[in-house]
Structure formats: C-alpha cells, structure tokens
A and B are shown apart, each in its own frame.
Chain A
C-alpha cells in the first residue's frame, strides 16, 4: 500500500512540475530559515547551560531601593559579601569573583599577542566546567604571579608542544606585569557567555585594587556554588543579612541570587526585582519570525493543494468505491505532502550548509550543522513532521471527505466555506508579510537613529586608547608630541568613557536630600581640563577646571540632570558633601547621553584627575583622519617604543551597544524579503491555477470582444482585493507591535504613516506584478486552444 502511495505521490510530483516547484522552492527556503534559526535559538538557549553544576551555580546580584518603592538590580556587589557568604554559610560551597574581561597584550620574548581575559581564583575552575588540561590551577590562590591560560593562547605562544613547554614560563602582560604560566585550560566552549583566554591570580588583582576589600564598594561581580538542595531565596536572604550589618544607611541594599545560566537570556528585572526578560525576547522574536515564514509557505501549500483538490477528487471517488477508507486516503495525501516536505528538507539542509558561514558572520556565532549528531535529527524530524502536518493535514482532510456520488458524476458542488478559508489564508499571509516588512523598516530606522543621534557629545573622528601605567607616566610628553602632528586636533584623558559611564557613587549629599534619595547613584568621570573642548560639550553655567590647578580637585562639576535631582538653585558656588568632605560646584555641563539610549540620561559628576582616567582620547580633523592616525602611530613608536598601540574608534565602539538591534535590523531585512517572496510565490501558484480553471470563461469573453485589459482586471481583481485586505489589517497590528518594541528605548524615532504606506504599496505592487504576469499570459492566449479542449 505504502509503495502504491509513494508511487502516486512521486508521479504527481513529476507530472505537476510547476506546482511541485512552487511548493518545494517555498518550503525549502522557509525550512532553511527555520533550520538556521533553530540552530541559533538552540545556541542561545544552551548558552552557559553546559556547566555540570549548572543547577547549583548562582550569580550574586544587588538590589538598590530607589525613590518610591522601586528596586534597581545591579550585577555589581562588594567583594567581601561574596567571600563572607562562603565563610559564614554552610550551604555556600564555593565562591569566585567574576572579573570583567579586558584586552591585553601578552608578550613572550619577541612574540606579542592580543588576548582578552581577567582575574580569577582556583574556585573559578571548580565551579564552572572549564577543564584543566595541564598544570596546577590552585597556584592562582597561592602565588600573586600565577596565571592560567587557554589552550589556544598556549598554542599561539608556545607552539604545538605547548603541553610540555608552557607551564613554568614567564609571560609579560603589558598593563599588569609579569606572570608565570601555572595551568592550561581547555578553550571555553562557544556557548559560554564568558570568554577568557587568560585568568591571572585574583591576589594580584586584589593587591592592586584595595577598594575591592571595602564592604561599601560594589565594583566586583561574583558567582556562588550552592550545596545540593539549598534554597537560593533563603540563602540570598541570609547573605543579605550579612550585607546589612555593614551598611549604615536607612534604606539598605539587598542581595539577589540568579541562576548563573539564566543571567544570559534573562538579564532584565522589573521594579520589584522580578525577571522580566532580556535577550530571551530577541530569541523569541526570531523564533516566531522563522515560524511565521514556515507558516507562510505552509499556507501556500494548503492553498495550492485545496485549489487543486478538484483535480484529485475523481481519484478519491474511485478509491472509495473500491474500498478505501477515509483514514487510508488521509494517509495517502499526508504521504504526498510528506514527500514534498522531505525533498524540501533535503534542499533546505543544502541551503543551510551553504548559508551557514554567512549566517555566522551576521550573528557573530559559531553555529554548525552537524548531521552526525542525533539531536540534530530529532530537530529535523520534528520540523519534518510539523511541516507535513501543517501543510498536509487540511488538504488531506478536505480531499478525503469527497463523496464519490458527487465527484464521479462530475457535479462537485463548490463548498463556499473552502473558498473563505483559502481567501483567509491569503489575507493572513499578507498580514504576516507586511508585519515583517514594516518591522524590518522600523528597526532599520531606529538603528540609523541611534547611530546618528546627536548625543550632545561628539563621538566622530575620535579614537580611544586604553591607558596603562606607561602612558600615564609619559602623558605630558606624549600629548606634546601628538599635538605637533598634522591632523591631530587635541588629546585628552577620560575614564571611564563618557559615552558609557560605568562608575557611580551614592556618596553625594546636599542640603535638602530626602531619605528616599539615599541611594541615588551619581555617575563619575575623571577628566582633564580640556574635556569639554575635545568632546564639544557646552557649559551651561560657571566654568570647567583650569589647567594645572591643584585647587580644583576640591571642586566638582555636575551635569544638568544631577542639579535637577538635587534641586539646587543657582548651583555655581554652592557646596555639596562628596564622600564626606565638602566640594564646591564650579560649573554645570549641558546634559549629553552618558549611557545607551535604553536609559535616560544619568546624573553625573565630572572630576579633575588625569591619573585615574583610564582612556586616552585623540581627536583628529575631519578630513585628515588617516594622517592623524599615522601621526599617532609614529608618536607612540618614538615616545613609547615598547608599548604596542591599540586604538578603537569611539563611534564604532558606541555601535557595539546596539549589537542586538543591528543584528535584529539585518535579520529583519532578510525575513522581509523572504516573506514577500514566499507570499508572492503562493499568489503565483493560485493565480496560475485560477487562470487555468477560468481559461474557458476567458476564451468566451475574448470571443465576445473583451480586451486584454478587461481580462487582466477580471482575473486580478479578486487577488489584489485579498492582498489589499491583508495589508489593511496588517497595518494596525504592526503599528501596535512596533510601538511596543520602541518603548524599550528611552529615545526613539516616531512611527510615521509612510513607514506603513510604503511597504504596503510595495507589497501590492509586487503582488500585482505576480498576478498580472500570470493573467496577462492567460488573457493573451489563443481562445481556440482552450475551447477546443472541451
């Protein structure tokens, strides 16, 4: 029986080439997209879940009570809280600090490489599943000059025999000094959200950063390993109690434990510190978009299959009279759709394989389609079954219901319901297509907006260079040399980057500070006196720091937002308490965006201290960027011959904030193109079939004198009405969804009518062309041909 079915399915496939082609092209494209998306979703999903102790690893977070009753959640915690959690609580088995990864130049003899890494202790390797390949990682806890490096870094530095040659060797780290390689660990897997090529002794970090030992400094991050069965909420409460003993405030900060594996996808919290989402929303959006594409091409399949159903009706009638049950007919037609899906999946796998390198470039991932993996086949088989059912269930249901008495006498009565469904599906396709197109457009516009927004601070033609001890020491010489170079306009030092202020304090007091303002954080930037000039930031009142003035270090400059929060009238000359000592406000700087556009402008204080400022900024003339850069390189060679130069453009750096948005924009464009293509493919199939069915009517009308123009109108009208309806319904839906998306930003474009009208117009134009092509062909055909066929 099965053979009989497949034979029929196969012969139908061959005999109805156009029909099969439309289905296979449509399905394989959308299946390829689905498959690739599935790989991506799976990769996102598996991120950080590979740690064997995953269930017991928690990231410690800190909650801050703000004005009103709301809570803010921060990743930063004081290091002593981490350490105390382990020593005081039996259910905390281990803790490790999590350093921010940074890029560093590592030198072994003449060989210098750039790699990123951070500090850590041996518990780091006990908590996480990063296997040690050779050496003794506990040395990280015992020796200040111990470092563990990745297999990859070891191979780069010590060649293929790294296993024998690396351990015990000294490497020179340009910013942090000399270290001895004590252990080598396997490269962190691709789906680890943390990527470190070196981990140096936490003791070294600690001795250079004694602030980490303060109970009130939340500049550290960390993870805990809890005992099996420990209640995370209760443990968090106990840690919070420990923490509270060291805070002398009325509104104390709290502790929250989040599963380490959840941190990556669920990084956002609401005002009650409950998880609201995060990256997971992107994962879901793209998962849904891929599903929508799959649905669009399944709709094509359903529509074409039901449109063609009358052609198969006779066969159904005959089979029923010779004893076919409904079930066996359903099976037969499911096998037919299964066969088309099967071929499409084959093609889709080929397409995916070919597209994967490009997809990896776009998504910045290392996805691979590994067909020898059983899980892969589970995925493929599920897609296969899902698609076969989505596409085949309804047509087989319709077909198997035909009654022989109707179909064999040739008097099939058209059931009106079926047509409504077919029309409804076309309408739905274009709703989805419009949603994807408008989505692509709006996301693109918002990304453009972000890139080009006037932040109130200049980010163009600026490069930033991480400042190490050498640079700080020779800063004056360096600056003098640089200013002599052609194209270099100015040089300054700032830290942290004023476009992404990452250092804050709640240690500011002012007359009239309310109790509920206790925890308000003020961002801090350390600057040199020429800060405003280099970044083109205007002063609202007062003055900025004077060059060479030591007196100015007891002064402070705020931005407008800070003054607004403190509610100080005529601020210049007034005094605030800064970490317990008075500072006079000498100036107010106009507000500029000092964080991502997801966030409102933060209150900020600008301090004078060029030694604590971590970044060197070099501003070049608009038209002489490359001249300035070669000047920069030459200067470094002459002034600091041993310090390798690594610079980044500030505007490129700024775009990295919006990696997800830029990715969304790119992917949305692909989805938009595919969705309109697939929808029109379906339309092409339907109109072909429609024209075929109506060929006799067309011929008669033509003989009666209808012009080609009339005929095209007659044939296209209905389809275009459906497309139009779909677009009309799609507009408010996409409006709603996109304005919702835009709400995640604090600063956005306005949705404009043209953003909906243009895609709608485009969609209808493409649809008209698709249908028009087919109907013109039908309309200009020789009427004798189809009349004679009767």
Chain B
C-alpha cells in the first residue's frame, strides 16, 4: 500500500542543510498496524506527514496504492485525503466553532454524502463511541479523552484505508490513553491500516510492527508476533 524509496528531507538554514530524514525506504502493506518510535526530534512527525501527504521529501519516491505521490498535484492530494486518509492529532485539532456532531459530520460533507445517509452514519458512530449525549457540545466543553474520541471518530467516519495518528495519547491520562488504543485495536481488527507515532512502549504493543528512528535513519524495523 505504501512504498517509500530513498526519501530524504532536510531544511536549509543559511547555507547549511539540516537533515531530518535520510534515505528512508519503507513498505507498509494493507492491514498493518505500524508504530513509529524514536527520540524527540528524530523525525517521526516529519515521516508521518510525508506518508500523510501533508509534507514532501526533498528526494526519493513515494507510491501510495501504486500511484506516484511525489508527482501529484494539489488536487489529487486533496482527493486522496478525502477518500483514503484519516488523521488523529496529539492536540485533537477539533474545529472550535463546530459541535461534536458537526465536527464528525464535516468529512462527509466534503465527500458530498447525502443528508439521510450522513445522519445515519454519524448516528451510528456516535453510538459506537458512546458519545451520543455529547453530540451538541462544543469541543471546549469536553475533557481531553472525549475530545480525542471525537478526533478519532472524525478521522474514521469516511472509512479511510489508512489512519495516521501522531502521538494520539500524548496529552491524555493513562486511562483515557488506553481507551483510545483499544479503539485503534478494534479498528485494526476490522481491517484498517494504521500508522501511529508514540513514545510509550506499551502503546506500541497494540500494533503489529515497530519502526525506530534515530537521527533520521531507520534504526530498527521489527514485527511483533
């Protein structure tokens, strides 16, 4: 599903290049649950953003479902975002002016899903995540865990093939964190491909594969039995 070859990323500061990613080659198949780990500043977010097509490498090639992402125009990227990708952020990033219901509904609006169908899908997911009672609240009226629940709901409502999560539990208490990780596991069991970034070894154990980054290099890539 994902095929990175010799991806490099650097920032220029003055005449100097400061390297963030070096020579990253990576294959991720459908149905995998990958965890990216590494010290702060090792390039995890950058790698995830490149995979999520929010950022681009300076060199190398990236194929997503056999399509050459490095040659995409913005329009095609938007299409991919719409139909294949879901994002979960450490800081939740809900839209403050929209209610829980409306936040979750928004991706369907961009997909032009019909009114009736949309209502059914949103109701379904509210039910599944157990947040029906909260649907008319605004994000600032929710706890962190609840906000992240909404974040996940929003990310998966469009049935993406790939879910990307950058430290989804980073701002959460252990308990809430576990709840989110269990949710991920269920999603993975239902067949969703997931790539997450985390610092916690415990969270990594929910997945099927761990990639460790060090100074922009892939230092280790192991499968979990």
Contacts and interface: CB of A to CB of B under 8 A. Distances in A.
A7 B111 contact: no
A326 B55 CA distance: 16
Contact of B93 (A4, A314, A325): A314
Interface string B205-224: 00000000000000000000
B33 interface: no
16 contacts: A1-B109, A1-B110, A4-B98, A7-B97, A8-B98, A11-B98, A12-B97, A317-B93, A319-B95, A322-B81, A322-B82, A322-B158, A324-B110, A325-B110, A326-B74, A328-B110
B106 A319 contact: yes
Contacts of A325: 75, 78, 110
Mostly, the A contact residues are helix
Contact of B95 (A15, A318, A328, A409): A318
B145 interface: no
Interface string A1-44: 10010011001100100000000000000000000000000000
A66 to B, nearest CB: 69
Given A328-B110, A405-B54, A322 B78 contact: no
A774 B198 CA distance: 45
Contacts of B93: 314, 317-318, 408
A318 B87 CA distance: 9
B109 to A, nearest CB: 5
Interface of A: 1, 4, 7-8, 11-12, 15, 314-315, 317-326, 328, 403-405, 408-409
Contacts of B74: 326
A325 B94 CA distance: 18
B54 A404 contact: yes
Contacts of A4: 98, 102, 105-106, 109
A321 B107 CA distance: 9
Closest 8 interchain pairs by CB? A323-B82, A323-B110, A405-B54, A11-B97, A322-B107, A405-B55, A321-B87, A325-B78
Nearest to A403: B54
B184 interface: no
Interface string B72-89: 001100110111011101
A323 B45 contact: no
Contacts of B87: 321-322
Nearest to A10: B97
A404 B50 CA distance: 12
A324 B78 contact: yes
A323 B98 contact: no
Interface residues of B, number: 34
Contacts of B85: 321
Given A315-B95, A409-B45, 16 more contacts: A4-B105, A11-B98, A12-B97, A15-B97, A314-B93, A319-B110, A321-B87, A322-B81, A322-B158, A323-B79, A323-B81, A323-B82, A323-B110, A324-B110, A408-B91, A408-B93
B52 interface: yes
Contacts of A7: 97-98, 102
A310 to B, nearest CB: 14
A20 to B, nearest CB: 13
Contacts of B52: 321
Contact of B81 (A1, A315, A321, A408): A321
A323 B78 contact: yes
B49 interface: yes
B154 A322 contact: yes
A315 B92 CA distance: 12
Nearest to A314: B93
Given A4-B106, A404-B54, A323 B111 contact: yes
Contacts of B106: 4, 319, 322
B168 to A, nearest CB: 14
Contacts of A12: 97
Nearest to A4: B109
A321 B55 CA distance: 11
Nearest to A1: B109
A322 B95 CA distance: 12
B118 to A, nearest CB: 11
B147 to A, nearest CB: 13
Interface string B21-52: 00000000000000000000000010001001
B211 to A, nearest CB: 20
Nearest to B93: A318
A120 B78 CA distance: 75
B89 A322 contact: no
